[in-house]
Amino acid sequence: MAASKNASSSFVWNSLLWGKVILESGLDDTVNGLISHFGEWNIQVLNHNFSKYEIDGILQIPIGCRDVVDTHIWHFENNGCYSVKNGYWFGRRFAPTSSFFNSGALTKWWERLWKLEIPLKTKIFIWRACYDWIPTLANLARKKIMVDDKFLICKMASGTTLNALWDC
């Protein structure tokens, strides 16, 4: 998972990279990382990661078959399985504040929007319009989907989201 972002990275790419950080911070190795090459508990690793009390308990556990493939587990779920819901919950509450989640008044505004008793498709439309994710002629032209970015109705302004909703 060696990917990086640059100055021209899109919101989607930045979101994927942020998700990667969340995933990596919640993944734990299973016990194979605590076992030495000789098939015994690695005391040095145990001392680095656990208390004396925990080490005493671990050393009483017999080491099983060495042919089992090690896996990763999701630390923030009791069953060890990652879910998008749990990853999102972890990201919103425990990840360092980043540009993906604004704080303060804007966050409260979004929370109020999502709690409104209006159709979900209306909430999503407002959210997409605020982030300029509506497929207006200007956005389509920027993606090379359409050539002319002028509105078909008024033919005056560039076909941006703001113009589509207020001017035309």
pLDDT digits (tens, 9 = 90+) for 107-139: 777 788 888 899 989 988 888 888 777 877 777
Phi, psi of 73 (to 5 degrees): -125, 155
Digit-coded pLDDT (tens) for 15-71:
777 777 777 766 666 677 788 888 888 899 889 888 898 889 888 888 876 666 667
- Percent of the chain exceeding pLDDT 90 equals 4
Residue 76: name the closest of 26, 116, 110 by CA. Answer: 26
pTM, two decimal places? 0.36
Domain boundaries along the sequence of the chain:
11-93, 105-167
56-101 confidence digits (pLDDT tens)? 988 888 887 666 666 777 777 778 787 878 777 777 666 555 444 4
Asked if the model's pLDDT at residue 1 lies above 60, the reply is no
